[in-house]
Amino acid sequence: MSKKNPRKSTSRRAEKKAAVLGSEKKNRLALVATIVSGLLFAGAIGAYLIQADRDAGPSAKVGTPVPVEAGQVVLAADIFDDGEARHYEYQSGGLNIRYFVLKSSDGVIRAAFDACDVCWPAGKGYYQDGDVMVCRNCGKRFASVLVNEVKGGCNPAPLDRRIENGRVMIPVAAIEAGSGYFNFSKGV
């Protein structure tokens, strides 16, 4: 009967153990690399979606029909008592001229084009976040009390309006004067 050399069996056992443990380490490394790659990919997708959501903002309430009387858009003033900005669209010469009306925190009804002197080429306009209007293109925020007061730059471009007998009156000529903000065919 031949006896096995105990040193040989111990070394074979050690070799097998090393081979098994070595491959486990390689498998662990591959698993960790896969998990890290997956997390990075998920993070990139999440960041993209957050940025896209910030760019888009809440959807605008565009297309509300508005009556025109004697060259004036006429809106009941009391619909703005809730402080919510309402977006409108006026079609003229093949262009959709967008504007919004809101009652600011100081109680004044204000109107502005849904565009500014800087970001108008992007055609994104503004959305409301509490007491501010936010540019959908650059993210700048404008206090409601400054709409119709501050002109130029990235401020919402002011739109003439007056309040008369409980109605907001906006001259159609004033709306049409802002058509340049919505003529995207002219390029930049």
- Whether residue 83 is found in the same domain as residue 174: yes
* DSSP for residue 102: E
- Whether residue 51 is found in the same domain as residue 78: no
What pLDDT is recorded for position 99?
93
- Which is nearest to 74 in space by CA: 151, 158, 141, 171? 171
What is the average pLDDT across 121-134?
90
- Whether residue 118 is found in the same domain as residue 44: no
Determine the structural domain holding residue 40 and report its residue range: 1-56
What is the average pLDDT across 7-14?
69
- Whether residue 131 is found in the same domain as residue 173: yes
What pLDDT is recorded for position 129?
93
8 Å CB contact between 167 and 77: yes
- Whether residue 76 is found in the same domain as residue 161: yes
What pLDDT is recorded for position 9?
64
- Whether residue 31 is found in the same domain as residue 103: no
Q: What is the pTM of this model?
A: 0.65
- Residue 48: pLDDT band with limits 50, 70, 90: low
What pLDDT is recorded for position 169?
95
What pLDDT is recorded for position 26?
59
What is the average pLDDT across 33-42?
77
Specify which residues 97 forms β-bridges with.
90
- Whether residue 9 is found in the same domain as residue 31: yes
124: CATH = 2.102.10.10
- Whether residue 107 is found in the same domain as residue 169: yes
- Whether residue 101 is found in the same domain as residue 159: yes
Specify which residues 109 forms β-bridges with.
103
- Whether residue 37 is found in the same domain as residue 99: no
- Whether residue 83 is found in the same domain as residue 152: yes
* DSSP for residue 106: T
Domains held by the chain: number: 2
**Which of 56, 79, 97 is the endpoint of a domain?**
56
pLDDT in tens, 129-143: 999 999 998 889 999
- Whether residue 35 is found in the same domain as residue 80: no
Q: Within a domain: residue 26? A: yes
125 contacts: CB under 8 Å, gap ≥ 6:
60, 87, 98, 100, 114, 115, 135, 136
Q: Within a domain: residue 171? A: yes
